[in-house]
Amino acid sequence: MKKFIVLIMVGILSMAGLSFAGLSSDDNLTFVASYNNGLNADYATGNGTATVTHGDGPDVGLSANGTGAFASSTPNKALTQTVGYAHSSIINTGETVMYQAQNNMSLQAGTFVGWVKASGSERFFVPAEGMIFAENGHWTSNNSMTLFDQYTYGYQRQYVLSGKDAYGNYFAVDTVSTSANKGFDEWVFVAASWNLSQSGQLDLKLWARAIGEASFATGASSYSDMEFVDFDQYSPLNIGSDYWGSRIYGGLIDNVQIYNTALTNAQIDAIYSSGVEIIPEPATLVLLSFGLMAIRKKIK
């Protein structure tokens, strides 16, 4: 029903000739996984079916403890990717949730958005990477893009977007959250964008903000002479671990969105602040409200 409602809202706005935060909902939003109805993507321009591999750890699956950050996220489930015990080093559980990267993500330009909740019982004083997403294996792999967090640098939560281009040239950008809880057992909004120009300049941006924080922790970096190659049908996109099921997140991940363009600061702020799982322009809010009212009455 949720997907049906979202499609109706998209149709209402499309008929009015309007777009989401200046973006075409068809051209820019490529992947959405709310994890409320299973591990498969709610929307994907590529293959959105989740391939789940079970290993030695607790089975990856869904938790009833979702963010509750969005009005339409009932029943508030989330992807759980945990070890089940406290650990102080990289743990290879073999538990993975993988999607097909082709058409769902582009290394030429894109933005990853999601909410994460690191488990204090598993990751307190742990320097190991908690992988949020990994494209094409791990950041040590060529033609890769990864986002992870770790507890480091003065006992703060550090978020890192990193990878290598097609020829093994490394890139990275990081930011450190100012949350008093150090990102443990609290929901933190994270977003990462990348854009490769025709001249080979790769621009990276990173945002992190726990619920209740007054502003984003941000980071930005640029690299020259970078080059990526297009994904094929075998290129993996993992959520919650790397390709091999090591460096698992150790907590919860929710409301994942991937775009094939680098979003602006204003668009990132709109997603964080929004009460629905889309990012409408101010002019569309009234129309969206009428659409939701009509849908609600129809359901009754």
Candidate ranges 20-24, 43-47, 141-145, 201-205; pick with highest mean pLDDT = 201-205
Largest CA distance in the chain: 57
Q: Residue written as tokens 């443990």?
A: 184
Predicted TM-score (pTM) of this structure: 0.79
Report cis status (omega within 30 of 0) of the bond before 127: no
Measured distance CA(106)–CA(72) in Å, rounded: 28
- pLDDT tens-digit map of 151-209: 775 677 889 999 999 999 999 999 988 777 777 888 899 999 999 999 999 999 999 99
Per DSSP, the three-state class of 128 is: coil
For residue 13, the model assigns a pLDDT of 35
Q: pLDDT class for 120, splitting at 50, 70, 90?
A: confident
Domain 22-280: give its CATH architecture: Sandwich (2.60)
Measured distance CA(143)–CA(231) in Å, rounded: 9
Q: Residue written as tokens 């790397």?
A: 242
Domain-wise residue ranges, the chain: 1-18+281-300, 22-280
Q: Residue 22: CA atoms inside 13 Å, Cβ hemisphere, count?
A: 10
Residues whose CB falls within 8 Å of the CB of residue 207, separated by 6 or more in sequence, listed in order: 175, 189, 190, 191, 192, 216, 217, 218, 268
Contact 26, 7 (CB under 8 A): no
Question: Which among 80, 79, 82, 77 has a CA at the least distance from the CA of 67?
Answer: 77
- pLDDT tens-digit map of 37-82: 888 999 999 999 998 887 655 555 655 555 443 333 445 788 887 7
- pLDDT tens-digit map of 251-295: 889 999 999 999 999 999 999 987 433 333 333 333 333 333 333
Measured distance CA(113)–CA(151) in Å, rounded: 20
Residue 112 CA to chain centroid, in angstroms? Answer: 4
